[in-house]
Structure 1
Amino acid sequence: MATERDRRREAYVEKARAELSGLAARGVRMGGNAFSAVVLAKGELSPEEQAGAELLSGPDGVALRKSLDKLGYEPEDWCTLCLPAPGTPGALPASLVREALAALDPATVVCCDNAAAQAVRDAYADDLAALQSFSEAMLEPGYVVYVRGVRVLALGGFANALGDQRKKQLMWARLKQIPPLGEPF
């Protein structure tokens, strides 16, 4: 027999399912665990991803998941979100980017490339403009910024960095700034 807690939990799951289905129907491309603490946003897609392969299923995704594991995140504690740069094919309106991130409700958003950073910049322009630091307001790579209570880190071309040892080390240094936050209670 279902308890009140079970019914409430099921209502939350149904609400999330409805929100995510609605987002997908409006062109939002996502993958992974929708209840995770980390959203990996990518806008510059590989040819395989453009052809329909799962987001971050290539070498960049493998490297990101290994990095998150080394930082102490659980293996399933990530979600992907496709955020092409505004004005490019497949780009989402700023309002839909905000809605998708609100529905996913992550503790941390990692913008894997400049296209995703630009989409987040456009979606949260007013919030970012209120920041004191110009570098943070522009979501420059390597800065951890808090936007509406969410940590946002722009990596600045993670996939392109994989072929260069020095750039890989730079990406690792940036990722080390966002360890898991722990339980909220």
Structure 2
Amino acid sequence: MGVSDEYVNKAKAELGDLADAGVVMSGNAFSPVLLVKGEPEESGVKLLAGPDGDALRAALGALGYAPEEWAALSVRDAEGFPLVPGTLRLAIATLDPATVIALDAPAASAICEAFADELVELESLEAATLAPGYVVRLLGMRVLALGGFEQSLADAKAKQVMWARLKQVPPLGEPY
């Protein structure tokens, strides 16, 4: 077994542990972008499989990300209950994205709770509270709260605001 096989097996085990704990994820676990959703999906609908997911994938593509360069994570478990902050933190650490995008206020709030010790050290209140539109550096990740992406799809002006916010987190390129 080569090193790459060991890496894949390690990732499968870690992701399996998260799934066993009820963590809801979709997309590519090895991607640089993690989309975090706080609002629950409709019953039986896969995470970001609706119009919001389509719009996000289109926006990421327009920014220059490859179609497979995203993963999604719900701050609610498979039964609909909020994830414990430590579990959310572990899930984000396991996925190890370069960029985390909180799609709505519940997602931003959950991330704030999971990373409270680090966020309290930031200089501005907007950064420390993950105010919508601010890009924050947190443990080597860029974190952006959009503030209601799914609701913005019904309003042309709100969609423009979301696009302006997303343009702040283009692909990093190499070297990182």
Bin of the TM-score, shorter chain as denominator length: over 0.9
Q: What does residue 164 of structure 1 align with?
A: 155
Please state whether the residue corresponding to 1:66 is helix, strand or coil. helix
Q: What does residue 85 of structure 2 align with?
A: 94
Q: Does 1:142 align with 2:137?
A: no
Task: Show structure 2 runs of 5+ residues with no match.
Answer: none
Aligned with residue 125 of structure 1, among 105, 113, 116: 116
Q: Does 1:56 align with 2:48?
A: yes
Residue pairs, 1:75-114, within 5 angstroms? 75-84=67-76, 89-114=80-105
Deviation at residue 182 of structure 1 after TM alignment:
1.2
Q: What does residue 36 of structure 1 align with?
A: 31
- State the TM-score, normalizing by the size of structure 2: 0.95
Please state whether the residue corresponding to 1:91 is helix, strand or coil. coil
- State the TM-score, normalizing by the size of structure 1: 0.91
Q: Which runs of structure 1 show a deviation greater than 3 angstroms over 4 or more consecutive aligned residues?
A: none
Please state whether the residue corresponding to 2:62 is helix, strand or coil. helix
Partner letter of residue 24 of structure 1? A
Partner letter of residue 100 of structure 1? A
Give the aligned CA root-mean-square deviation in angstroms: 1.6
CA distance in 2, matches of 1:117, 1:84: 13
Partner letter of residue 104 of structure 2? D
Query: Does the CA contact (< 8 Å) of 1:84 and 1:115 recur in 2?
Result: no
CA distance in 2, matches of 1:183, 1:116: 29
Please state whether the residue corresponding to 2:169 is helix, strand or coil. coil
Aligned with residue 20 of structure 2, among 25, 47, 50: 25
CA distance in 2, matches of 1:84, 1:151: 22
Q: What does residue 115 of structure 1 align with?
A: 106
Query: Does the CA contact (< 8 Å) of 2:23 and 2:76 recur in 1?
Result: no
Please state whether the residue corresponding to 2:23 is helix, strand or coil. coil
Partner letter of residue 141 of structure 1? P
Query: Does the CA contact (< 8 Å) of 1:84 and 1:119 recur in 2?
Result: no
CA distance in 2, matches of 1:110, 1:184: 21
Deviation at residue 184 of structure 1 after TM alignment:
4.1
**Structure with the greater alpha carbon radius of gyration:** 1
In the TM superposition, what whole-angstrom CA distance separates every residue of 1:116-144 from its partner, at most 9, and x where no partner exists?
11110000001000000100100000000
Q: Percent identity?
A: 53
Task: Show structure 1 runs of 5+ residues with no match.
Answer: 1-5
Deviation at residue 78 of structure 1 after TM alignment:
0.2
Please state whether the residue corresponding to 1:29 is helix, strand or coil. strand
Residue-pair matches, total: 175
In the TM superposition, what whole-angstrom CA distance separates every residue of 1:37-73 from its partner, at most 9, and x where no partner exists?
00100010232xxx13211111111000000000000
Q: What does residue 9 of structure 2 align with?
A: 14
